[in-house]
Structure 1
Amino acid sequence: MSQIDTAPKPDTAPPATEPPSRWQIALRDIMGGSVIISILAVVIALVIGAILIALTDPGVQKASAYFFSRPADTFNAIWTSVSSAYLSLFQGSIYNFGRPTFAAGIRPLTESLTFATPLIAGGLGVGLAFRVGMFNIGGRGQILIAAGVAGWVGWSFNLPPVIHLIVAILAGLAGGALWGGIAGLLKARTGAHEVIVTIMLNYVAFYLISYFLRTPGLFQAPGSNNPKSPPIHPNAILPPMFGDQYNLTWAFVIVIGLTVLVWWILNRSSLGFRFRAVGENPNAARVAGIDVKNIYFVAMLMSGALVGFAGINQALATFPQGITADLDASIGFDAITVALLGRSRPWGIFIAGLLFGALKAGSFTMQAANNIPIDIVLVVQSLIVLFIAAPPLVRAIFRLPTPGTEPKRQRPIVTKEVAAK
């Protein structure tokens, strides 16, 4: 009878790995978080934009014809086209070094802030609706109605300077809130989807304002056959911040105040808590005693008012000589992009609005100085949205970790000697 080997066998279990520290977890969450994803999305879009600029540049196309004989010429042409294009973009949006004085050189920055003002206001409205779980696609209609109401007060009355401006702004906010509240009311009472309702309201607002502008006695300027309103009374025009040499008005300061207000509402008020609760899980919010229908209605009222300020800016600052039916200039749809890039956070929307305002202001200089199609800037904006909407794609490109997940543990190396034991 063979003896049973009772000798203890050596421990072949792999050594235990130490759990990640608190700082490693924090760094992992930051590297894979939304802020880094947004920054890298902009970087990727600019890189792809540079490729498109190089492909459409005549100098690059000419040099690429003899690439295999003198490849350096092609690379020099690519560098020249891309660097000059982005330099023109910078000089058209931030500072123009070719201007003789600082006051003249800083004018591009004020133009970027001017373009960013309605984008930030519209983005705040769209982002607020996103936080409640609603998609406000009716920015165009809310902008047109708010601009029409504010403009009507601006040219129809003759009030004291400050009072006239305040009344016109309040009237425009009420118009935008009313147009957004229609979608919120239908969502709350009938369950109608806000996307369909707001899209339809865009058409209603456009044709309604167009009809008013073509009808004498309503919005059409007296003695004119063009679909254009009378000019805004000087007392109702938003004044410039730094004099008539710049187009930047005090609307930008108001937008900063709106950003602070929306941030406080969402993060420091009980109403903001209810907004976020409904946006996270409306069923759980309803069980907790929150009136979800009322929240939908109030959120769309506030969203419409915020988006409507973009129309007020267009009527009382950008086009004080008279409004037309195309004054929105696609701001309502660009606001959706700004809200997505800003992750529906007020200060993120503010920064995203500044970025898109700079791209819009610099694109004109880039086109004029380098003969580059302005559509390339639109492609860059679209690519930003594409990568923002696909965080896993950005993480895969840069091999970034996913927040909230632990790093993969390495499999232990098993040698033949260990396996034999």
Structure 2
Amino acid sequence: MSETTAEAEKAPVPATPSEPKDDQRWSQAMRDIVGGNAMISVLAVFLALVVGAVLIAFTDEQVQETAGYFFSRPGDMLGAVWQAVSGAYGALFQGSIYNFRRDGFLAGIKPLTDTLVYATPLIVAGLGVGLAFRVGMFNIGGRGQMLIAAAGAGWVGFALDLPPVLHLIVAVLVGIIGGAIWGGIVGLLKARTGAHEVIVTIMLNYVALYLISFLLRTPGALQAPGSNNPKTPAMKETAIFPDLLGPQYNLHAGFLTAIAATIFVWWLLNRSSLGFQFRAVGENPNAALVAGINVKNIYVYTMLIAGGLVGLAGVNQVLGTVTTGFSSGIDAGIGFDAITVALLGRSKPVGIFVAGVLFGAFKAGGFSMQAAEGIPIDIVLVVQSVIVLFIAAPPLVRAIFRLPTPGTAPRRQLPIVTKEVKAK
């Protein structure tokens, strides 16, 4: 054996790159969680509440009065600011979650049930909008789909005589079918003519509004007999959602439809072959077409299902909230609020459900905040709008809180290289 070979065998073998250590994996996972969409949504709500607090402070009369002598007695102004903001948000909490001023737990929990009532149509309508988002479509036609669904379900509710359970089921199905047809028109026009769904849905909103307004003024159609007001007759008892917790609460069985719709959309997107095609088209319609997916049919299916979900919101309004008859304002802006709910929920079923409950709390607590503290309910609308602003700008939220970007590795410090200097 030669001397060179022996020295080569004694030479140390270079170390192969080892797998990432557990601490590095946990570090990467924490970066993904902290900088992920869920954290962005939570921080967007927090920032919106901070902006709302600033507006509440600026519009409070006591704060304005103490601001005149702030430099001589700054504690007065700070106390007034704290009293205004804490009083407003305290009233918001007690009007939407739990009222500590009422006697007993059963009485104190009533605001939460009101929140769930407001959240029910927002959840199902948000699911319809979010489903379209996942396929790369913008369903701006929630108002029209709700109005058509409300008209169908309402007509069945006051015009037909059916057994109790069957009457409610038929009314709900007719409403869902009405919303699905109105949404399906959009999908069909996009698939066959290439019409942009945003333009078509907005135009169909006006078509539905004026159509329902005409029917509400037409005797024998939707207008109540013997009435000159554009309003329908009251719904029959057999077609109304029953109470879930008794007559002392407003929560009705329509909330169960929101839970069922959330489970259905989750299963559709994550466990069905049709949902896989939905997600594939949403990611890249050209690649999906090359893979053999009929993209045009997917557009039609998407809007049919999305329209039916949004239509379920109109059904809940007619058969659950407004049972004494409805007018053309039955949608109550829910069709557009659903867009915000879908954005906050990141178009995911569970996220939309949570976002719907949050916005339901804003609606329920906003009225309490206005009545108890005199805070304009427009503050709640500003908070909702600011949430959308921050949701639409994740880099801004990451910059404010110095959050990492998911999927990026932490910066490694460069090694310090020293150069040996030979002594002369």
In the superposition, the TM-score normalised over structure 2's length comes to: 0.93
TM-align CA RMSD: 1.6
Equivalent positions of 1:186-335 (< 5 A) are 186-335=189-338
Residues of 2 paired with 1:315 and 1:361: CA distance? 19
User: Which SS does the other structure have where 2:129 is aligned?
Assistant: helix
**Greater displacement, 243-252 / 294-303:** 243-252
User: Which SS does the other structure have where 2:325 is aligned?
Assistant: coil
Residues of 1 paired with 2:302 and 2:365: CA distance? 34
Residue type of the partner of 1:90? F
Residue type of the partner of 2:304? L
Report the equivalent of 2:142.
Answer: 139
Report the equivalent of 2:182.
Answer: 179
Residues of 2 paired with 1:48 and 1:275: CA distance? 37
Residues of 1 paired with 2:179 and 2:112: CA distance? 29
Report the equivalent of 2:86.
Answer: 83
Instruction: After TM superposition, give the deviation of residue 105 of structure 1 in Å.
Output: 1.1
Instruction: After TM superposition, give the deviation of residue 118 of structure 1 in Å.
Output: 0.2
> CA 1:104/1:419 → structure 2, altered by over 3 Å: closer, same or farther?
farther
Query: What are the superposed Cα offsets for residues 241-275 of structure 1, whole Å, 9 maximum, x if unpaired?
Result: 11121111100011101100110010011010000
User: Which SS does the other structure have where 1:183 is aligned?
Assistant: helix
Q: Which one of 14, 33, 38 corresponds to residue 36 of structure 2?
A: 33
1:169 aligns with 2:172: yes
Residues of 1 paired with 2:28 and 2:409: CA distance? 8
Instruction: After TM superposition, give the deviation of residue 102 of structure 1 in Å.
Output: 2.0
Residues of 2 paired with 1:173 and 1:186: CA distance? 20
User: Which SS does the other structure have where 1:235 is aligned?
Assistant: helix
Residues of 1 paired with 2:20 and 2:121: CA distance? 48
1:48 aligns with 2:51: yes
Residue type of the partner of 1:37? I
Residue type of the partner of 1:35? A
Residue type of the partner of 1:219? L
Q: Which one of 110, 113, 119 corresponds to residue 110 of structure 1?
A: 113
> CA 1:76/1:419 → structure 2, altered by over 3 Å: closer, same or farther?
farther
Instruction: After TM superposition, give the deviation of residue 409 of structure 1 in Å.
Output: 2.7
> CA 1:411/1:197 → structure 2, altered by over 3 Å: closer, same or farther?
same
Q: Which one of 369, 384, 388 corresponds to residue 387 of structure 2?
A: 384
Instruction: After TM superposition, give the deviation of residue 162 of structure 1 in Å.
Output: 0.2
User: Which SS does the other structure have where 2:162 is aligned?
Assistant: coil
Report the equivalent of 1:355.
Answer: 358
Residues of 2 paired with 1:316 and 1:114: CA distance? 12
1:95 aligns with 2:132: no
User: Which SS does the other structure have where 1:283 is aligned?
Assistant: helix
Residues of 1 paired with 2:101 and 2:396: CA distance? 40
Residues of 2 paired with 1:31 and 1:247: CA distance? 38
Instruction: After TM superposition, give the deviation of residue 125 of structure 1 in Å.
Output: 0.3
Report the equivalent of 1:407.
Answer: 410
Residues of 1 paired with 2:309 and 2:363: CA distance? 21
1:69 aligns with 2:51: no
Report the equivalent of 2:399.
Answer: 396
Query: What are the superposed Cα offsets for residues 167-213 of structure 1, whole Å, 9 maximum, x if unpaired?
Result: 00000000000000000000111110000000000000000000000
Query: What are the superposed Cα offsets for residues 347-378 of structure 1, whole Å, 9 maximum, x if unpaired?
Result: 00000000000011000010111100100110
1:369 aligns with 2:372: yes
Residues of 2 paired with 1:412 and 1:78: CA distance? 51
Residues of 2 paired with 1:166 and 1:207: CA distance? 28
Residues of 1 paired with 2:373 and 2:413: CA distance? 52
User: Which SS does the other structure have where 2:241 is aligned?
Assistant: coil
> CA 1:175/1:72 → structure 2, altered by over 3 Å: closer, same or farther?
same
Residues of 1 paired with 2:420 and 2:78: CA distance? 56
Residues of 2 paired with 1:378 and 1:180: CA distance? 27
Gaps in structure 2 of 5+ consecutive residues: 1-16
> CA 1:23/1:213 → structure 2, altered by over 3 Å: closer, same or farther?
same
Residues of 2 paired with 1:401 and 1:267: CA distance? 28
Query: What are the superposed Cα offsets for residues 195-240 of structure 1, whole Å, 9 maximum, x if unpaired?
Result: 0000000000000000000111111000000000111111001111
Residue type of the partner of 1:58? E
User: Which SS does the other structure have where 1:180 is aligned?
Assistant: helix
Query: What are the superposed Cα offsets for residues 260-303 of structure 1, whole Å, 9 maximum, x if unpaired?
Result: 01100100110100000000000000000001000000000000
Residues of 2 paired with 1:235 and 1:175: CA distance? 20
Residues of 2 paired with 1:371 and 1:395: CA distance? 35
**Greater displacement, 112-121 / 95-104:** 95-104
Residue type of the partner of 1:165? L
Residues of 2 paired with 1:360 and 1:208: CA distance? 29
In the superposition, the TM-score normalised over structure 1's length comes to: 0.94
Q: How many pairs does the alignment contain? A: 405
Residues of 2 paired with 1:64 and 1:287: CA distance? 66
Instruction: After TM superposition, give the deviation of residue 418 of structure 1 in Å.
Output: 6.0
Query: What are the superposed Cα offsets for residues 385-412 of structure 1, whole Å, 9 maximum, x if unpaired?
Result: 1101110000000000001112223344
Query: What are the superposed Cα offsets for residues 97-134 of structure 1, whole Å, 9 maximum, x if unpaired?
Result: 11122222111000000000000000000000011110
Residues of 2 paired with 1:401 and 1:224: CA distance? 62
Residue type of the partner of 2:349? P
User: Which SS does the other structure have where 2:176 is aligned?
Assistant: helix
Residues of 2 paired with 1:419 and 1:330: CA distance? 76
